[in-house]
Homo-oligomer: A and B are copies of this chain.
Amino acid sequence: MKKINVGIVGLGRMGLTHAENIVERIPEAVLVAVCSFVDEELQMAKTKLGVEKAYTSFENMLLDAEIDAVVIASPSGLHGEHIRLAMKKGLHVFCEKPIGVEVEDIERTIEVVEGYPKQIFHLGFMRRYDKSYQYAKQKVDNGEIGDLTLIRCYGIDPASELGNFVQFATNSKSGGLFADMAIHDIDLVRWFSGKEVKRVWAIGKNTAYPELDDLGDLETGASMMQLEDNTMALLVAGRNATHGYHVETELIGTKGMLRIAQEPEKNHVSIFNNQGVVRPTSQHFSERFKEAFFREMKEFILCIQDGKQPGVTVYDGLESTVIANACQESVDTGKMVEISK
């Protein structure tokens, strides 16, 4: 079968992850072009990844490189524009989350995407491609835990990254804790329940890093949500887990409960030492979801070969941003926020 030629824009942490997966583990695709504003990244792409064509302009890459598909890992604020350009150029598109920062921008993107139904559009909610999440989803869909009553999601970044984050957030707009961190969890709530969120209340606290107050951001936040069928959701998002990267999801049903990664185990090793029994933990999203990132990219390529749309749609991108924004509004106003339809 014909190999898929791919171009990528953005070679930061996420872009590099996708680029490496294509080059090292996906024989069905070839990474033929990269685009970045950072010279070192382009250099690295040539020497380490063996990519021949390097661009500093996204539009030039679309015009010049003979690519079938594009992977968008540029800054969030550019996602919308990049998606629309690529779609109009006839390319298949894989876009990192979020699909956009502003709701109107996302709606314009949706319009464009809808105009090219034969081109694959894939949004990078990679957790849906993690084996543990897929295993849990199947159990929920099979009715093994009965009807869903409550979903609890934790998404807490490692404390070791907090310093970097404060610096990063000082220079650019992260979109706030809920848009930046909780958006994956919001997608999970919708994915597992198949229901939309009706109302949210969100609160937060800055203790270890009061400088986040000045940035209008949060060290740790919590949100309680009521879904349209009264299913409950509790979300905790944060940036200060001393034990590493804590992504945990719980599904409480009328016939049982499931927990995914109740302890973020790094591997199968247990250490018995003077601390007690220690289970080492994942330290970063790239470690915890390494396999999921590979699987979603493989899925994208296979969808192109098979002419099938993947399960994550452009509408999932819109809804999760709407809800994340509502959480932020609730923190800002101190009030409960209704999600209008």
Contacts and interface: CB of A to CB of B under 8 A. Distances in A.
Contacts of A207: 146-147, 149, 254
Contacts of A258: 269-272
| 4 cross-chain pairs, A with B, having the tightest CB-CB distances, nearest first | A208-B254, A132-B268, A257-B272, A256-B273
A244 B222 CA distance: 27
Contact of A269 (B136, B152, B223, B226): B136
Interface in A243-294: 243-244, 246, 252, 254-281, 291
A234 B151 CA distance: 13
A339 interface: no
Contacts of A231: 205
Given A203-B224, A236-B252, A276-B279, 9 more contacts: A23-B27, A132-B267, A149-B205, A203-B232, A207-B254, A208-B254, A242-B256, A261-B268, A264-B277
Interface in A98-112: none
Given A150-B236, A230-B205, A135 B267 contact: yes
Nearest to A248: B268
Given A232-B205, A234-B224, A252-B220, A270 B259 contact: yes
A272 B255 contact: no
A93 to B, nearest CB: 22
Contacts of A260: 268-269
A272 B220 contact: no
Contacts of A280: 135, 275-276
Contacts of A174: none
Contact of A234 (B1, B50, B234): B234
A219 interface: yes
B232 A273 contact: no
Contacts of A274: 242-243, 256
By size class, the interface of chain A is 35 or more
Interface in A325-341: 335-336
Contact of A272 (B152, B230, B242): B242
A85 interface: no
A236 B234 contact: yes
Contacts of A306: none
A261 B268 CA distance: 5
A203 B230 contact: yes
Contacts of A26: 25, 27
B135 A269 contact: yes
A272 B241 contact: yes
A246 to B, nearest CB: 7
A204 to B, nearest CB: 8
A234 B266 CA distance: 27
Given A27-B25, A220-B252, A270 B262 contact: yes
A240 interface: yes
A256 B243 contact: yes
Interface in A136-158: 136, 139, 145-147, 149-150, 152
A278 B335 CA distance: 38
